[in-house]
């Protein structure tokens, strides 16, 4: 298991905060109903929308904006690619080879997990393999930077199943670190919200349990059960259950959730809207009141929304596109 399996949701450069006290469903509904509906200007009668091909044979990707992003090929080579798009491959700079997963911080810094399960912090200038880099840890299954710590703290899941909060200075293995959770919890995925709080999806309970866990250690609060995946977007927590139902709760978290859609495989909250990928591969842009939605594309493998008008889409043929509204 690599970091991309745990980060498939977002490919986002920033991971956000959350809280812990409950909202009633009534209050949550009022908050969400106050969101702006999808503007008519976004809609058109064409699927796919206007688009430019970025690359082909893409395994993973994370875009920083509509002009540049990191792309990992099936040959485990990582590139920093940039506009103009339309030719395959586009203009690009080699970052590293033998890459299993990565998390870009910006155009000059990227965390890279090698196929040997070593985790490195790599930095520009890119073009030589490997670039300038500092070893963080070894035997790594997954990792995420703790928000707002300027790369000084990283959460690392070891191949032994233990989850650690690791601290700079890096360069020695392991670095200074504090245990967050033992392998006993059978951690499926995690998301650090701050230096004091982590969301953990564990397999210790039937169906998967999502817990809000104080960092570094402490008794967690159960947010939801029967969970397949989750992602927090700036205090908007989306939870996908094992039945394919996507639900939303707002900060502070509680037991009340508003159902967004069914038959969902992936999702992203952005600008008061939700991009939803259906299990049949259709991609939708949705808003309140449900089901206010417009179709973006079909036969989608995964995606990264940049805004309500631009989205990077990987098709089931592994081609990567930058798609632009109007959608519909």
Question: What does the pLDDT look like over 56-113, one tens digit per residue?
Answer: 999 999 999 999 999 999 999 999 999 999 999 999 999 999 999 999 999 999 999 9
The pLDDT of residue 290 is: 62
The pTM assigned to this predicted structure is 0.87
Domain ranges of the chain: 3-324
16: part of which helix (H) or strand (E)? none
User: How many helical (H) and strand (E) elements, i.e. helices and strands, does the chain have?
Assistant: 2, 28
Write down the residue that tokens 């866990």 correspond to: 213
Q: Is the pLDDT of residue 36 over 90?
A: no
Q: Right CATH number for 3-324 from 2.130.10.10, 1.10.260.40, 2.60.40.10, 3.40.640.10?
A: 2.130.10.10
Q: How many CB atoms lie within 10 A of CB 311?
A: 28
Question: What does the pLDDT look like over 204-220, one tens digit per residue?
Answer: 777 899 999 988 776 67
For residues 247 and 241, the answer to whether their CB atoms sit within 8 Å is yes
Mean pLDDT of 130-137: 98
The pLDDT of residue 39 is: 59
The pLDDT of residue 37 is: 60
Question: What does the pLDDT look like over 109-128, one tens digit per residue?
Answer: 999 999 999 999 999 999 99
User: Percent of the chain, pLDDT > 90?
Assistant: 76
Supply the mean pLDDT for the chain: 87
Count CA atoms closer than 13 A to 256's CA, side-chain side. Answer: 15
């Amino acid at each position: 298991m690599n970091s991309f399996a745990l980060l498939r949701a977002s490919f986002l450069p920033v991971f956000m905060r959350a809280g812990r006290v409950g909202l009633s469903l009534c209050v949550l509904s009022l908050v969400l109903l106050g969101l702006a509906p999808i503007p008519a200007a976004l809609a058109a009668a064409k699927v796919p929308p206007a688009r430019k091909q970025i690359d082909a044979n893409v395994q993973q990707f994370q875009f920083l904006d509509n002009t540049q992003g990191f792309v990992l090929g099936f040959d485990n080579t990582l590139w920093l690619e940039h506009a103009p798009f339309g030719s395959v491959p586009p203009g690009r700079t080699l970052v590293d080879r033998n890459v299993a997963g990565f998390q870009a911080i910006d155009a000059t810094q990227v965390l890279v997990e090698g196929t040997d399960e070593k985790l490195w912090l790599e930095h520009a200038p890119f073009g030589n393999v490997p670039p300038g880099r500092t070893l963080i840890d070894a035997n790594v299954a997954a990792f995420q930077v703790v928000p707002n710590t300027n790369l000084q703290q990283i959460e690392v899941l070891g191949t032994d199943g233990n989850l650690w909060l690791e601290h700079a200075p890096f360069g020695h293995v392991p670095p200074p670190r504090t245990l967050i959770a033992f392998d006993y919890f059978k951690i499926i995925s995690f998301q650090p919200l701050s230096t004091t709080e982590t969301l953990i999806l564990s397999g210790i309970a039937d169906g998967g349990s999502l817990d809000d866990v104080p960092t570094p250690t402490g008794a967690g609060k159960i947010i939801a059960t029967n969970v397949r995946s989750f992602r927090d977007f700036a205090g908007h927590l989306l939870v996908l259950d094992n039945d394919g139902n996507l639900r939303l709760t707002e900060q502070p978290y509680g037991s009340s959730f508003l159902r967004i859609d069914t038959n969902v495989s992936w999702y992203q909250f952005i600008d008061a809207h939700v991009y939803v990928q259906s299990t049949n591969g259709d991609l939708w842009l949705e808003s309140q009141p449900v089901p206010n939605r417009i179709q973006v594309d079909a036969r989608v493998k995964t995606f990264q929304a940049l805004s309500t008008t631009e989205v990077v889409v990987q098709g089931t043929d592994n081609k990567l596109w930058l798609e632009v509204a109007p959608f519909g």
